[in-house]
Amino acid sequence: MYNVRYALLLVVFLAACSAPETPEAPDQGDGGDSASVAELQVVFNDYHEYVLRTSPETADYEGDHRYSDRLSDYSAAAAAKGYDSLRVYLARLRSIPRNTLAGADLVNYDMFERSVQEQLSFEEFRGYMMPLTQQSGLHIDFPQIIEYQPFDSAGDYARYFMRLRAFPGAVGHVITNMREGIAAGVVQPKFVVEQIIAQTENIGAMDPNDTPFMVPLLREDTGLTEDEQIRLSAELVSLIGVFVQPAYNKLTEFLQDEYLPAARTEPGVWSLPDGIKRYNHMIRWHTTTNMTADDIFETGQSEVARIRKEMERLVREDIGFEGDLAAFMKYVRTDERFYYKDKDSLMAGYRRILDNMDAKLPQLFGVLPKAPYELKEMEAYRARSAPQAYYYQAPEDRSRPGYFYVNTYDLPSRPTYTMTALALHEAVPGHHLQIAIAQELDDLPWFRRQLGFTAFVEGWGLYAEYLGYETGMYEDVYQHFGALTFEMWRACRLVVDAGLHAKQWDREQAVQFMLANTPNSELDLRSEVDRYIVWPGQALAYKVGELKLKELRSRAEQALGNSFNVRNFHDEVLGAGALPLTLLEQRIDDWIAAQQSKG
């Protein structure tokens, strides 16, 4: 999973919706070709700078540290100004005569227009009123600044300390927004709120020295003199105790006393006042298709039946297990041979898988990313409610690598037979390879390199698991079974997501459907179902995108025959960054035609 900056398009959207200012629209210019292209670049560059300025955390994440002393504005007023700013950028774009552009400039024009329009389409849903989930939100995101904010001098710490002092104000805005949500009936389910409370309570109750915020000064090499180390350590402990933890405790008190009693009892987004409209919107957003909830549900049921048949064949014929699929899934859930006893062994196992896949990448790709990636253990403060793994991309300046985070909490729920598929999805040839290549497309404007259409990004991640078959990565029948279980897991998501949000399934019904069709642990599946509940539609993108990629590859193979080259096909798929599935299909059709014309 691409982490909850899980689509950079969504990050840019959120950044734009917390903007404290509205830019002025410039004069149009003379309308000639060169003038139009120049003005288009000005719009793109201004937008980039605007996002960095109004979302300092995004700037830091990118490696731009000019705003490392401040936080985004979480107020409802800032959200409204953000939408006003987007409208100005859209007007600036449309002031450029579209008919004077051609080629890549015309594509960039259309993509920017689409991006801004889609961001504006969220305005009516007032997302700021439900800013926290057990998977995302200020309470989880704020500690992450230690991962990408620089800590090389006393001046860096001074800027970091300003952020810590600003945290109570940000929490205050979040509480105000959630009170507005209570009044409007736009609230999270009770069981989600209970998980958030456990997270905020945890940080609020820690010894300041044990909080994530203390980590930068606990490094072996802080870059500080001994006197600076002593002085700054004392100041940091004080700031955590005076500003940060009281803010977490204030948030906990609000959640317990005001928000939890008002939380909704039904898990599906249908139970919100605008729930059905909201879910239909999220389907379109995440899949970039016109599929309906019924289409999604039926496709999921069909895929579940197909994959289940293959799993049954594998268990019966290749593994030779005496018993049905349900008995086999119970066996792999409970037999100790399929689980590591310590987290160091788990991490070492992932490292071996990644090293093996790294060596095979040239078989599949002509273009490989320059950016490296690292394997990291997920932080304890968020691991309990987090998924098995996720990927954090590298910044564009390459000041740090991309991170493949692995959850080591509760090792008996982390089976060895799914590790290969998971590593291929999150790192290579999955998220790291795709996202890093997109970032390195220097001929694309910044906003194109950052677009994170979920169906493309997550569809590619699931397709990357499929590539494990072609490279011999599933070295035994159990790894093969693990890959099938991951594909089944994503097929189940279509059924469960639509079931929860459109067909009024309850939480337990969703969990039991997942347990009946996958061997994942109950802990893992309950965490997964709760994720689908708070991110409506996001889980649909994996299967929808993967099915489209497989369809396009099959089309290319049939059309080109012996001249089909998988490395060229993959380079073409990835060569324009993330795209809506309709535009990807057009791109591949054009590529097929070009290949055929070469004879």
Classify residue 410 as left (phi > 0), alpha (psi -120 to 50) or beta.
Answer: left
For 170-220, write each residue's pLDDT tens digit: 999 999 999 999 999 999 999 999 999 999 999 999 999 999 999 999 988
Identify the burial level of 561 via C-beta atoms within 10 angstroms of its C-beta, where 0-12 means exposed, 13-18 middle and 19 or more buried. exposed
**pLDDT above 90: residue 377:** yes
Please list the residues that pair with 374 across neighbouring strands. 403
**pLDDT above 70: residue 358:** yes
For 425-469, write each residue's pLDDT tens digit: 999 999 999 999 999 999 999 999 988 899 999 999 999 999 999
For 319-350, write each residue's pLDDT tens digit: 999 999 999 999 999 999 999 999 999 999 99
**pLDDT above 80: residue 243:** yes
**pLDDT above 70: residue 9:** no
Quick one: average pLDDT of 418-431?
Answer: 98
pLDDT-derived band at 590, boundaries 50, 70, 90? very high
Burial of 438-475, coded b for 16+ CB within 10 Å and e otherwise, reads bbbeeebbbbbbbbbbbbbbbbbbbbbbbbbeebebbe
Burial of 402-432, coded b for 16+ CB within 10 Å and e otherwise, reads bbbbbbbbeeebbbbbbbbbbbbbbbbbbbb
Q: Fill in the DSSP letter of residue 405.
A: E
Determine contact, residues 415/519, Cβ cutoff 8 Å.
yes
- pLDDT for the residue 3: 54
Determine contact, residues 425/431, Cβ cutoff 8 Å.
yes
Please list the residues that pair with 189 across neighbouring strands. 264
* Amino acid at site 390: Y
Closest CA to 423 of 484, 460, 468: 468
* Amino acid at site 60: D
- pLDDT for the residue 384: 79
pLDDT-derived band at 2, boundaries 50, 70, 90? low
The two tokens of residue 195 are: 């998980």
Task: Tell me the C-alpha to C-alpha distance, in Å, between residue 526 and each of 14, 202, 387, 515, 553.
Answer: 28, 21, 10, 9, 34
- pLDDT for the residue 54: 96
* Amino acid at site 369: P
Cα(125)–Cα(277) distance, rounded to whole angstroms?
9
Q: Please provide residue 30's backbone torsions phi and psi, each rounded to the nearest 5 degrees.
A: -85, -10
For 546-583, write each residue's pLDDT tens digit: 999 999 999 999 999 999 999 999 999 999 999 999 99
Q: Quote the Cα angle for 329-331-332, to 5°.
A: 70
CA 363 centroid distance within chain? 27
**pLDDT above 70: residue 138:** yes
- pLDDT for the residue 147: 87
- pLDDT for the residue 387: 80
Residue 536: helix, strand or coil by DSSP?
Answer: coil
| pLDDT cut 70: percent of the chain above it | 94
- pLDDT for the residue 14: 37
| pLDDT cut 90: percent of the chain above it | 88
The two tokens of residue 125 are: 């849903």
Quick one: average pLDDT of 519-547?
Answer: 94
- pLDDT for the residue 12: 38
Determine contact, residues 435/2, Cβ cutoff 8 Å.
yes
Task: Tell me the C-alpha to C-alpha distance, in Å, between residue 533 and each of 52, 226, 229, 505.
Answer: 30, 49, 44, 11
DSSP run (H or E) holding 237: helix 226-239
The two tokens of residue 446 are: 């910044």
Q: What is the average pLDDT value for the chain, to the nearest integer?
A: 93
Quick one: average pLDDT of 44-56?
Answer: 97
- pLDDT for the residue 25: 40
Quick one: average pLDDT of 482-503?
Answer: 97
Cα(48)–Cα(447) distance, rounded to whole angstroms?
7
pLDDT-derived band at 23, boundaries 50, 70, 90? very low
- Rg (Cα) of the chain, in Å, rounded? 24
- pLDDT for the residue 20: 37
The two tokens of residue 51 are: 């996002």
For 86-105, write each residue's pLDDT tens digit: 999 999 999 999 999 999 99
**pLDDT above 50: residue 16:** no
pLDDT-derived band at 4, boundaries 50, 70, 90? very low
Quick one: average pLDDT of 68-75?
Answer: 97
How many other CB atoms are there within 10 angstroms of residue 74's CB atom? Answer: 20
